Amino acid sequence: MRAIGQDGFGGPEVLRLVEARRPEPGPAEVLVRVHAAGVNPTDSWHRASGGLAGTLVRLGWDVSGVVEAVGPGVTTLAAGDEVFGLPRHPLPAGTYAEYVTSPARHLVRKPRGLTHAQAAALPLAALTAWQALVDVAEVRPGQRVLIHAAAGGVGHLAVQVAKARGAHVIGTARAAKHAFLRGLGADELVDYTETDFETAIEPVDVVVDAIGGACGPRSLRVLRPGGVLVSLASPAEAYLADEAAALGRRAAFMIVEADQAGLREIAALVDAGLLRPEIAAVLPLAQAARAHELGDSRRTTGKIVLSVTD
């Protein structure tokens, strides 16, 4: 099969198209013929440095495709099912390929109203938003939620998830992206290049921070007593927990996990017309390096996707 490989760490130029052995599904696994694979910042991190483990891995976690075969013991899926999901994360998956194996319960059936490219844009980013807002912060109707980098891959989905939970949503983004975010339901927007969000907004109940660095401590200062900051940026952000506790707030660093129940909730939001991914670009598998160049620019709106079947 065709797949994307790399011989060493570095920039997007280390990615190349290779021939690889097609995998076989093991017990409780399925083999998926990949139609599309999402591109995420964690892919660039692993490409450049190997992530937390510091080792080369086959890139890609987001997948949408068709079940080709099932391994022993699989009861939830069958050959021919259209599925999407987040195989094995945070362990390596290798969805930048024509075929990938996955635990059957890391996938769910693809919403019929989405193309494979749209479905592949969802799993990692939408599950991150869902787990941050629902599982960690337990967002409730009427709460005020601040989402940093609101037009990004996670951010624009977090805006929609928070609105679906009945929250008042505030986003930080460049002014050029405000109309897009209003269309997703954002109630207030702050142009971070012109305005200090600390002085521009009233206190909030929840902050979702995909930026890190100084943004974390600054965000604590806009939280109401008892409020929650969910950091998605780096394990180093775990230090915020002590600082938050001293202020009577809560902070947590979160890594998204494969989550079938969460995927089903996401699919239900899609079917209800409450969640839709914005696609910044769809590129063929052979142009994975170009996809990473676009992602590394941090200037895209929404998600980048690799089309594998074309």
In a domain, 265, yes or no: no
Question: Phi/psi of residue 303, each to 5°?
Answer: -115, 150
- Do 60 and 166 lie in one domain? The reply is no
Contact indicator for 32, 65 with CB cutoff of 8 Å: yes
User: 43 falls in which pLDDT band (50, 70, 90)?
Assistant: very high
Question: Phi/psi of residue 127, each to 5°?
Answer: -65, -35
In the three-class reduction of DSSP (H, G, I as helix; E, B as strand; rest coil), residue 242 is classed as helix
Q: What share of the chain is helix, strand, coil (3-state, %, to 5)?
A: 35, 25, 40
- Do 54 and 131 lie in one domain? The reply is no
- Do 153 and 117 lie in one domain? The reply is no
In a domain, 266, yes or no: no
In a domain, 154, yes or no: yes
pTM of the model: 0.96
Q: DSSP readout, 247-284? A: TT-EEEE------HHHHHHHHHHHHTTS--PPEEEEEE
Q: Is the pLDDT of residue 244 over 80?
A: yes
User: 238 falls in which pLDDT band (50, 70, 90)?
Assistant: confident
What CA–CA distance (Å, rounded) separates 306 from 230?
29
CB-side neighbour CA atoms (13 Å) of 6? 25
User: Beta-carbon neighbour count of residue 195 at 10 Å?
Assistant: 14
In the three-class reduction of DSSP (H, G, I as helix; E, B as strand; rest coil), residue 208 is classed as strand
According to DSSP, the β-strands at 279-284 and 303-307 are parallel
In a domain, 264, yes or no: no
Out of 47-51, 93-97, 133-137, pick the least confident. Answer: 47-51
pLDDT at 104: 98
Domain count, the chain: 2
Write out the two tokens for 9.
Answer: 């760490």
In the three-class reduction of DSSP (H, G, I as helix; E, B as strand; rest coil), residue 122 is classed as coil
Compute the average pLDDT of residues 7-20.
96
Q: Name every residue whose Cβ is closer than 8 Å to that of residue 51 and which is 6 or more positions away in sequence.
A: 42, 45, 57
pLDDT at 164: 98
User: 178 falls in which pLDDT band (50, 70, 90)?
Assistant: very high
Q: Is the pLDDT of residue 235 over 90?
A: no
User: Residue 47's Cα: distance from chain center in Å?
Assistant: 17
- Do 55 and 104 lie in one domain? The reply is yes
- Do 116 and 129 lie in one domain? The reply is no
Kindly state the DSSP code that residue 218 receives in the 8-state scheme. Answer: H
- Do 129 and 113 lie in one domain? The reply is no
Compute the average pLDDT of residues 86-105.
97
What CA–CA distance (Å, rounded) separates 234 from 212?
7
Bridge partner residues of 97 (DSSP): 3
- Do 142 and 221 lie in one domain? The reply is yes
| C-alpha distances out from residue 24 to 85, 149, 163, 216, 253, Å | 18, 39, 41, 43, 35
In a domain, 197, yes or no: yes
To which H or E segment does residue 231 belong? Answer: strand 223-231
Q: What is the CATH number of the domain that holds 229?
A: 3.40.50.720
In a domain, 271, yes or no: no
Q: What is the CATH number of the domain that holds 79?
A: 3.90.180.10
- Do 41 and 96 lie in one domain? The reply is yes
- Do 282 and 241 lie in one domain? The reply is no
User: 191 falls in which pLDDT band (50, 70, 90)?
Assistant: very high
In a domain, 68, yes or no: yes
| C-alpha distances out from residue 105 to 71, 77, 109, 254, Å | 12, 9, 11, 21
In a domain, 107, yes or no: yes
User: 310 falls in which pLDDT band (50, 70, 90)?
Assistant: low
Q: Is the pLDDT of residue 200 over 70?
A: yes
- Boundaries of domain holding 91: 2-122+277-307
User: 227 falls in which pLDDT band (50, 70, 90)?
Assistant: very high
- Do 93 and 110 lie in one domain? The reply is yes
- Do 133 and 176 lie in one domain? The reply is yes
- Do 109 and 141 lie in one domain? The reply is no
pLDDT at 236: 78
Average pLDDT, the chain: 96
